[in-house]
Amino acid sequence: MADLVRPEVHISDGLGKRLGSLTTQSSVNRAWVLLQPAQGGVQLALSDPMFKHLDPALGNAVAIVSPHYPVPWLGAITDRDEDHAGGTARLTLLSLDAVLRDRYLDSPASYSGSAGAIFRSLLSDANGANDSGIAIAKDVAAGIAFETAVAFPDAQVYAALNALARDSGHEWWVEYDVQPSGIRAVAHYQPARGFNRYAAVRLTDGGNCDVMECAKRLGGMPFALRVVAGQTSPTQKYTERSRVTRQFSSKVAPGADVVVGASVIVHGSEVEHSELSGSPLTRRQAVVVAEHLRSKGAIHAASLARLGRPSGAERVLKVRVYPNDDLWAQLDVGSKVHFVSHRAFGGCDVPVRIVAVHPMEELGDCILTLQVLKG
């Protein structure tokens, strides 16, 4: 890998027209996080010619492009802190998809049909009321056969999209194209974000990466599980999190009360932690069994009847990947890769999913949050 070069930082107006680029940027960082907006930050000199365009009230977009990590990042300025003694300013950024947290659907906001068509309608309605600047990928409805009927009256658009993804077992995200002529944001909706890179990418602890942290807990690592499953509190059950989905074994979707497995299948592997075993029992049948056991004093058995077969603990890792342009280019959020360590969890050779990416070129690190998969 050649000497690490700082990412370029470009400023565009609200219509995507480039206003210019920073010339004094430092401490540039940003992240990609599965299923939620992510933060970034940039430091610059107060004397930078672009400083006048960096007032958060202007609504200008900040694009970060790197020769070492090829995925562009696009966000808005939420805070600008000035240090006049040091002659610098620090920008706090939030990825552009967060704008959908400030868009709301009108009543009744009811939809029916395939999940892909509903996704298109949700974003179209949101943009019709107040354009978000996020377009919809042309193939967003392709291959999505899940039929449903939903209503999101007065709902936050981001929350509605997450709910739709949860019910259909899909994921959505926004990708950015950054060009001198302008910027473009496009929303995607597919079975899973990222790619199956298990055969092509091998992360070896002590080789091309180092383990920084690992956790094995039934409750999981709260931050990482919030990323993966939409956890709203550390005590929230896994089956109540927004990313937990039903996986259907037939082309005909069962009724809403059918429990056919709450674990997520991503790129051919199952998320390791699951509280439901894939029982064909309906929720009503499970309740009948559980209440019968409870009446006999078998409280623990009753709990298992409600939850299904409990599985092992969730395993989450934080890993530092050393500079390597070819490797970094394949570390896209959502992808499945191969991970080997003689230290983590007493030694492991497992498939993992990248749930967060944080490249820091100036330090020579790319920090990953990984979730262990079954396989």
Q: Tell me which of 186-195, 268-277, 289-298, 343-352 is least confident.
A: 289-298
Q: Is the pLDDT of residue 339 over 80?
A: yes
Contact yes or no for 151/111 (Cβ under 8 A): yes
Over residues 296-315, the mean pLDDT reads 46
Q: Is the pLDDT of residue 359 over 80?
A: yes
DSSP 3-state of 299 = helix
Q: Which residues contact 181 (CB under 8 A, 6 or more apart)?
A: 18
Residue 186 is predicted with a pLDDT of 95
92-131 residues labelled b (16+ CB within 10 A) or e (exposed): bbbbbbbbbeebbbeeebebeebbbebbbebbebbbeeee
Which position has the higher pLDDT, 249 or 298? 298
Environment class of 22 (CB within 10 Å of its CB; exposed 0-12, middle 13-18, buried 19+): buried
Q: Is the pLDDT of residue 273 over 70?
A: no
Q: Is the pLDDT of residue 244 over 80?
A: no
Q: Tell me which of 143-147, 153-157, 158-162 is least confident.
A: 143-147
Cα 163–Cα 117–Cα 155 angle in degrees, nearest 5: 35
Cα 303–Cα 307–Cα 312 angle in degrees, nearest 5: 105
Q: Is the pLDDT of residue 57 over 50?
A: yes
Which position has the higher pLDDT, 249 or 34? 34
This prediction has a pTM of 0.77
Residue 220 is predicted with a pLDDT of 36
Q: Is the pLDDT of residue 233 over 90?
A: no
Q: Which residues contact 252 (CB under 8 A, 6 or more apart)?
A: none
Q: Is the pLDDT of residue 303 over 90?
A: no
Residue 223 is predicted with a pLDDT of 38
Question: How far is Cα 50 from Cα 92, in angstroms, rounded to an integer?
Answer: 16
Over residues 332-355, the mean pLDDT reads 94
Over residues 254-275, the mean pLDDT reads 52
338: which 2 tokens? 């191969």
Strands 348-360 and 336-341: antiparallel
209-230 confidence digits (pLDDT tens): 999 988 875 543 333 333 334 4
Residue 3 is predicted with a pLDDT of 73
Residue 287 is predicted with a pLDDT of 46
Question: How far is Cα 182 from Cα 25, in angstroms, rounded to an integer?
Answer: 21
Mean pLDDT of all residues belonging to the chain: 79
Q: Tell me which of 35-49, 215-229, 335-349, 356-370 is least confident.
A: 215-229
Which position has the higher pLDDT, 134 or 282? 134
- For the chain, the maximum distance between any two Cα atoms, rounded to a whole number of angstroms, is 76
Q: How confident is the model at residue 295 (pLDDT cuts 50, 70, 90)?
A: low
Q: Tell me which of 42-51, 89-98, 227-236, 327-336 is least confident.
A: 227-236
In the structure, how many helices (H) and strands (E) does the chain have?
6, 21
94-153 confidence digits (pLDDT tens): 999 999 999 999 888 899 989 899 999 999 999 988 888 899 998 887 777 788 888 888
Q: What are phi and psi of 38, to 5 degrees?
A: -135, 160
Q: Is the pLDDT of residue 242 over 60?
A: no
Q: How confident is the model at residue 93 (pLDDT cuts 50, 70, 90)?
A: very high
Contact yes or no for 286/279 (Cβ under 8 A): yes
Q: Is the pLDDT of residue 265 over 70?
A: yes
Cα 4–Cα 227–Cα 271 angle in degrees, nearest 5: 105
Share of the chain above pLDDT 70, in %: 75
CA 221: distance to chain centroid?
Answer: 15
DSSP 3-state of 367 = strand
Q: Tell me which of 128-132, 251-255, 267-271 is least confident.
A: 251-255
